[in-house]
Structure 1
């Protein structure tokens, strides 16, 4: 967890403690507050929130404001939470209502972006996925995250985002490791159809599609997937969360990573050959 994020969480905890100690009816102990807030609360939870060892939910903050007799402070507390959560967006919170809301957030960023720079190491990028492939990806992710299933809505939202591929003035610099072409996150026939569709993207004038072959000499290891929106925002995926990074130096680091990886990539006919080779490997002889 980043230092800035942790500091912001600790600062929120200090504010929560202030509210507990300045309750209009008199200062409350952690046990008294937990009792007042009811089921799901304990002295331990109160302590973790106040010491920045647990991230509060919006519901926690509302209950705290009301429980300390200061409901008018809820908006302030929520603003603090949103201020630091905007950079680390946990999957648990993002997927509370399913995958469609995540797609909508990405679509909003995409709408105001001219150049989208993408690195994927083990999946076909969402901008180039076919519905059947996307369906399997969403299903497996919702199983892992134990989140609500809104698979068909999420698939439709993802495919809608692909309209940008056909809009003048847009540029998609997409690069992936060969492993993305061979990861069986779906049945082989679906992957074969996906690779056929992927090969067709090479001809789009808005797309620069590069593949890093397994046999390529690498100057840096193919780490986490990330998307760079113009040069103002990098979104990095991890198992627990997405990182939304908007400070100039960090975004520049991800651009350097992408450019370093690109030195090992192939394009055009060579990329087409790698895709077709992976596709033929899925066909029984």
Structure 2
């Protein structure tokens, strides 16, 4: 619904909405099934660990949902429990779980750039992409400088800094989708996104200029929610909606992929409500220009320092 259209600001949530707790339920169910197979084979946890040359603590962690098993772990577990007929079903359950709860530590094993390439493939199949971000500039709208600071911060947690250059380049390639016919983008950010000191002022000046430019594309609708707007719904966290099929939520530890109809419906309603609070077009660009001018003042008063490589 276009901004400014009269409508009730009350939001009725869909009933029986599935939430990310389903991910924990699925992980617990997988752990219970593995424990049942071990017990049915008459093995203690220590005996199973010994037969697989594992630390006993690994068996305990898997059975209590504190560690997600790998494909090889499940195959070995089923083989040691004389339950190889269960292998395919358990692997299918694991892969479904991994799709919904993709741990960053696992994803980054192939490098940060590979995660960007995977995201690009998902975006290629999306016609309408809606995003709400209360903290960061959306990746599809970032400049190379801003993206570099984001990757440096994120990859510092996981120790995969070797391919930051490749990750930045891959994120820039992702942005080519903004110019593809048939693609539509509706992005809403809070004013806090423009104010947080997540990068030096000079980098943020370029980033804000980029936002102003992209907001003029005919297929990109960029909304900014100012600080003085009273929210109908608190901006608890960011999320992306791919068509009406998938919602992505990023946490510190993992990417949640929510595909249950109730989940998608809930996040769509939340997005529509937040979007009503945003300013668009000339009013949004006035916010952006004001922020850029303030940032320029900070740049002018910042002591000279060596450029970052």
TM-score if structure 2 supplies the norm length? 0.83
Contact 1:139–1:149 under 8 Å retained in 2: no
Residue 184 of structure 1: which of 183, 197, 210 is its match? 197
Instruction: Encode CA deviations 1:92-117: one digit per residue, 9 max, x unaligned.
Output: 22222222222122212211111100
Q: Distance in 2 between matches of 1:258 and 1:130?
A: 25
Matches within 5 A, 1:225-236: 225-236=238-249
**8 Å contact kept, 1:96–1:148:** no
Alignment of 1:84-233 (within 5 A): 84-147=97-160, 149-233=162-246
SS at match of 1:282: helix
Specify the SS of the correspondent of 2:237.
Answer: coil
Give the Å deviation of 1:245: 0.6
* Residue 11 of structure 1: aligned partner: 29
Query: Secondary structure of the equivalent of 2:296?
Result: coil
The answer to whether the Cα contact below 8 Å between 1:95 and 1:148 also exists between their aligned partners in 2 is: no
Give the SS at the match of 1:173: strand
Output one character per residue of 1:196-221: Cα deviation in whole Å (capped at 9) or x when no partner.
Answer: 11110121111001100111121111
- Which is worse superposed, 174-183 or 72-81? 72-81
Could you say which residue in structure 2 is the equivalent of 1:269? Answer: 282
Q: How far apart are the structure 1 equivalents of 2:233 and 2:31? A: 39
Tell me the distance in 1 between the aligned counterparts of 2:78 and 2:179: 49
Cα contact 1:120–1:175 (8 A) shared by 2: yes
1:35 match: 50
User: Within 2, Cα distance between the matches of 1:88 and 1:241?
Assistant: 6
**Residue 223 of structure 1: CA displacement?**
1.7
CA–CA separation in structure 2 for the residues paired with 1:19 and 1:74: 11
Moved more, 58-67 or 224-233: 58-67
| Distance in 1 (alpha carbons) for counterparts of 2:135 and 2:20 | 25
Matched, 1:246 2:259: yes
Structure 1 residue 13, shift from structure 2 partner: 2.4
SS of structure 2 residue aligned to 1:124 = coil
In the superposition, the TM-score normalised over structure 1's length comes to 0.90
C-alpha change, 1:3 and 1:196, in structure 2 (3 Å) is closer
State the 1:68 CA deviation: 4.1
The one-character-per-residue Cα deviations of 1:155-208 (angstroms, maximum 9, x if unpaired) are: 121111111111111110011001111222111111111111111012111100
Superposition RMSD in Å: 2.1
Alignment correspondent of 2:60: 47
Question: What is the number of residues matched between the two proteins?
Answer: 280
The answer as to whether partners of 1:30 and 1:47 remain within 8 angstroms in 2 is yes
Q: Structure 1: where are the runs of 5+ without partners?
A: none
Give the 3-state SS of the residue equivalent to 1:191 in structure 2: helix
**Cα gap change, 1:9 to 1:202, in 2 (>3 Å):** closer
Match of 2:38?
20
> How far off is 1:72 after superposition?
7.2
Q: CA deviation at 1:84?
A: 1.8
Alignment partner of 1:132: what SS?
A: helix
